[in-house]
Amino acid sequence: MEKILEVKNISKKYQSKEGEILALKNITFKVEKGEFVSIIGPSGCGKSTLLSIIAGLEDKTSGEIYIEGEKVEGISPKVGYMLQRDCLLEWRNILSNTMFGLDIKRNKNKETKAYVEELLKKYDLYDFKDKYPSELSGGMRQRAALIRTLAVKPKILLLDEAFSALDYQTRIMVTNDIYNILREEHITTIMVTHDISEAISMSDRVIVLNARPGSVKDIHKIEFNIENRNPLNCRESPKFSQYFNTLWKELGVDE
């Protein structure tokens, strides 16, 4: 397998009024091309900080990030980022929203526009391209936000609690949809979540972080051996509850 991301000995200190906060300590792991990796850990353990550092949005105190063997210095154009808020612009219609990244990168041309339209068609949003975000369901909005992110062809997608604003039923369906899109498009994904079930049902590996300062506690390989694996059929597998119990215990110890 081909390695796409290398996180090497990352530490991060924040300065605050009370003094220095060590948020991350010696984080090291690698991600292979096409892999889906989740990061879980107690609230405040530095998950969002770690994603921001991988994206080059936040400075690190020490360590290095490599994407496709290139050191990340500053904001990385190879990374796509999705947050809990879908950040769609209410005054732009869906087509225009999904083209937004291309506008910013001044990369709107026949080819890139055709790619966005292809994604909209493939993932059932083309009929809604002239609608505004407020006219779409939460699930459709997330799908539109994903297409906007994929439009610029990131090498790695980062998801930070991207589904946690959705109600339970919607979240189950949306994570399934998004998972299928990411697999179909062969997108390498790193997802931060506090939802153990979400992590197990979507991931090839789950990285568990210790409470502050965040450090790697354990890395679990998740294997279901299900043909056409997806989050829904994983949730029904007997192995699911085994993984759940293991991770639940591991997270519980520190809380």
Q: How far is the CB of 231 from ligand ADP (least distance, A)?
A: 22
Q: Which does 21 bind (CB under 5 to 8 A by kind): Mg ion, ligand ADP, none?
A: ligand ADP
Q: Which does 46 bind (CB under 5 to 8 A by kind): Mg ion, ligand ADP, none?
A: ligand ADP
Q: How far is CA 76 from the centre of its chain?
A: 15
Distance CA 2, CA 206 (A): 19
Determine if residue 86 is left, alpha or beta; phi over 0 gives left, psi from -120 to 50 gives alpha, anything else beta: alpha
Pick the closer one to Mg ion by CB: 176 or 203. 203
Q: Which residue number, 193 or 203, has a Cβ lying nearer to Mg ion?
A: 193
Q: How deeply is 124 buried, as exposed, middle or buried, from its count of CB atoms within 10 A (0-12, 13-18, 19+)?
A: exposed
Residue that is written with structure tokens 């190879």 in the block: 78
Min CB(57)–ligand ADP separation in Å:
11
Minimum CB separation of residue 186 from Mg ion in Å reads 27
Give least dist CB 88 to ligand ADP, A.
23
Contact map string, positions 44 to 73, toward Mg ion, x by CB under 5 A: ----x-------------------------
Instruction: Name which of residues 10 to 29 contact ligand ADP (CB under 6 A).
Output: 14, 16, 21, 23
DSSP characters over 110-126:
HHHHHHHHHHHHHTT-G
Is the CB of 101 or the CB of 213 nearer to ligand ADP?
213
Site stretch for ligand ADP (CB under 6 A), options 26-34, 37-45, 105-113, 233-241: 37-45
**Residue numbers 185-214 binding ligand ADP by CB under 6 A:** 212
CA-nearest of 144, 58, 49 to 94 is 144
Give the angle subtended at the CA of 31 by the CAs of 28 and 33, to the nearest 5°. 160
| Inter-residue contact 244 to 206 (CB < 8 Å) | no
Of 6, 26, 33, 48, which lies in the binding site for ligand ADP, with binding defined by CB under 6 A? 48
Per rule CB under 6 A, is residue 169 in the interface with ligand ADP? Answer: no
Residue count, binding to ligand ADP (CB under 6 A): 12
71, β-bridge pairs: 66
Pairing of strands 79-82, 62-67: unpaired
Q: Applying CB under 6 A, which residues contact ligand ADP?
A: 14, 16, 21, 23, 43-49, 212
